[in-house]
């Protein structure tokens, strides 16, 4: 989904965010988005790891 945006699209999003939130809020918003993305990735890794740990092994015959 995001792979189709490209440089001009990202610049447009940045300019719109700059107009809406102002230059003082952008670092705070970026930091919050980064933390949210990091937490999401960590949760996804934990779920994947838990699923792998709970699957029965095929070698236990």
pLDDT in tens, 1-59: 556 878 899 889 889 988 998 989 989 988 999 999 999 999 989 988 877 777 776 65
Task: Please check whether residue 40 is in contact with residue 52, taking contact to mean a CB–CB distance below 8 angstroms.
Answer: no
Q: Which domain holds residue 44?
A: 23-52
In a domain, 41, yes or no: yes
Instruction: Look at residue 60 and tell me whether its pLDDT is greater than 70.
Output: no
40: helix, strand or coil: helix
Among 42, 38, 8, 41, which residue's Cα sits nearest to residue 30?
38
Domain count, the chain: 1
**Residue 47 within any structural domain of the chain:** yes
Q: What is the pLDDT of residue 54?
A: 77
**Inside any domain, residue 29:** yes
Distance CA 58, CA 60 (A): 6
DSSP class of 57: P
**Domain annotation covers residue 27:** yes
pTM (predicted TM-score): 0.56
- Cα separation, 53 vs 61, in Å, equals 18
- Decide if 2 is inside a domain: no
Residue 60, domain member (yes or no): no
Predicted confidence at residue 58, as pLDDT, reads 61
Give the pLDDT of residue 30.
Answer: 86
Say if 30 falls within a structural domain. Answer: yes
């Amino acid at each position: 989904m995001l792979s189709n945006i490209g440089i001009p699209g990202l610049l447009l999003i940045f300019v719109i965010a700059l107009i809406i939130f102002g230059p003082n809020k952008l670092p705070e918003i970026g930091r919050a988005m980064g933390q949210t993305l990091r937490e999401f990735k960590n949760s996804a890794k934990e779920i994947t790891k838990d699923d792998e740990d709970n699957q029965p092994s095929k070698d236990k015959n």
